[in-house]
């Protein structure tokens, strides 16, 4: 993985143990997603899934804002931050196979909220604000907001938020069960890292397979649910990591995962 260190870089990357940290680094533009940033994100998510020494990722926004959505100045120049096969921000149509945590400070609006919804877990500051205001601009939340929000919060509340375009304070979002954790402002990044490190201690194959079943099973026919789950989890049961997990438990030591 190439370390991005300059302030001019639109995406900063850092590896902390088995956790990949992705920081949107366009603070003067409220971390709006440009085509360049979408391309960098797509490459990073592909690397996350490809590397055996990475188990999960955290996505964060520099400068006190998570993401204000699409870069409208770039859009006016004809740049559309959609990556073929992955969608807006290189993410929303094809999230990574491994767990992804969104750490939200400030605003997550429009496409920024849709990025958070594409993540598996959201950790937010108590001062954070979410929103899908597209209808106020004659648009629709077509980067996953219309498809995901009603699966994460009650249907009627999702419908109200989408049709009115109003802002959703983090405390209210937490009340609907949208958040994995609600923390004081300024503590979101550290809280997300702690959660990611807890996940990363577990067997990578098992966490990825568990995510896949939870993500996909809503669309499975009732009579096929256990059969389709079996096809995903059976290779995990017979893996070397499953044997290692049992051995480590018996020997009262930390497991050493090999992703095999």
How far apart, in whole angstroms, are the C-alpha atoms of residue 141 and residue 88? 11
Angle CA(156)–CA(159)–CA(161) in degrees, nearest 5? 110
Q: Specify the pLDDT at position 118.
A: 98
Query: Can you give the length of the chain in residues?
Result: 260
Summarize the confidence of residues 76-84 as an average pLDDT.
Answer: 93
pLDDT at 4 exceeding the cut of 50 = no
Q: Specify the pLDDT at position 7.
A: 52
Task: Give the tens place of pLDDT for each residue, 143-156.
Answer: 999 999 999 999 99
In this structure, are residues 44 and 13 in contact, taking their beta carbons and an 8 Å threshold? yes
Bridge partners (DSSP) of residue 109 are 131
Task: Give the tens place of pLDDT for each residue, 112-153.
Answer: 999 999 999 999 999 999 999 999 999 999 999 999 999 999
* Catalytic residue IDs: 114, 134
Q: Where are the domains of the chain?
A: 11-200, 204-251
Nearest to 70 by CA among 119, 11, 29, 118: 29
Q: Specify the pLDDT at position 182.
A: 98
Residue 127 has φ and ψ, to the nearest 5°, of -100, 0
**Could you give the 3-state DSSP secondary structure of residue 248?**
helix
**Strand pairing class (87-88; 107-109):** unpaired
Question: What pLDDT band is residue 2 in, cutting at 50, 70 and 90?
Answer: very low
Q: Specify the pLDDT at position 223.
A: 92
User: What value does the mean pLDDT of the chain take?
Assistant: 94
Q: Specify the pLDDT at position 131.
A: 98
Residue spans of beta strands (DSSP E) within 79-237: 82-83, 87-88, 100-104, 107-109, 121-125, 129-131, 167-169, 181-183
How far apart, in whole angstroms, are the C-alpha atoms of residue 49 and residue 75? 29
pLDDT at 1 exceeding the cut of 90 = no
Task: Give the tens place of pLDDT for each residue, 9-36.
Answer: 999 999 999 999 999 999 999 999 999 9
Q: Specify the pLDDT at position 75.
A: 85
Q: Specify the pLDDT at position 76.
A: 87
In the numeric block, the tokens 């995510």 are attached to 211
Task: Give the tens place of pLDDT for each residue, 34-71.
Answer: 999 999 999 999 999 999 999 999 999 999 999 999 99
In this structure, are residues 29 and 68 in contact, taking their beta carbons and an 8 Å threshold? yes
**Residue 202: CA count within 13 A, CB half-sphere:** 15
State percent of the chain over pLDDT 70: 97
Q: Which residues contact 247 (CB under 8 A, 6 or more apart)?
A: 255
Task: Give the tens place of pLDDT for each residue, 166-216.
Answer: 999 999 999 999 999 999 999 999 999 999 999 999 999 999 999 999 999
pLDDT at 5 exceeding the cut of 50 = no
Q: What angle do helix axes 145-152 and 111-118 make, rounded to 10 degrees? A: 50
Dig out the tokens for 66 from the structure. 């998570």
In this structure, are residues 86 and 94 in contact, taking their beta carbons and an 8 Å threshold? yes
State percent of the chain over pLDDT 90: 89
Q: What is the DSSP letter of 96?
A: -
What homologous superfamily does CATH list for 11-200?
Answer: 2-enoyl-CoA Hydratase; Chain A, domain 1 (3.90.226.10)
How far apart, in whole angstroms, are the C-alpha atoms of residue 234 and residue 126? 41
Summarize the confidence of residues 92-99 as an average pLDDT.
Answer: 97
């Amino acid at each position: 993985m190439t370390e991005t260190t300059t302030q001019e870089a639109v995406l900063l990357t850092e590896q902390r143990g088995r956790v990949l940290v992705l920081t949107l680094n366009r603070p003067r533009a409220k971390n709006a997603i440009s085509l360049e940033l979408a391309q960098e994100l797509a490459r990073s998510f592909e690397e996350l899934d490809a590397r055996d020494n990475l188990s999960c990722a955290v996505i964060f926004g520099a400068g006190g804002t998570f993401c204000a959505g699409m870069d409208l100045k770039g859009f006016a120049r004809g740049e559309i931050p959609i990556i073929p096969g992955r969608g807006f921000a290189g993410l929303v149509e094809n999230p990574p196979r491994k767990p992804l945590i969104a750490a939200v400070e400030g605003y997550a609006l429009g496409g920024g909220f849709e990025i958070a919804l594409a993540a598996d877990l959201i950790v937010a500051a108590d001062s954070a604000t979410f929103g899908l205001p597209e209808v106020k601009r004659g648009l629709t939340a077509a980067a996953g907001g219309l498809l995901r929000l009603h699966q994460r919060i009650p249907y009627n509340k999702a419908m109200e938020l989408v049709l009115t375009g109003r802002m959703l304070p983090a405390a209210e979002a937490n009340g609907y069960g949208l958040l994995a954790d609600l923390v004081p402002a300024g503590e979101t990044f550290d809280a997300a890292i702690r959660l990611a490190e807890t996940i990363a201690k577990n067997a990578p194959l098992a966490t990825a397979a568990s995510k896949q079943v939870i993500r996909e099973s809503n669309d499975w026919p009732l009579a096929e649910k256990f059969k389709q789950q079996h096809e995903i989890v059976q290779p995990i049961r017979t893996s070397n990591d499953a044997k290692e997990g049992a051995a480590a438990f018996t020997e009262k030591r930390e497991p050493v995962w090999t992703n095999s």
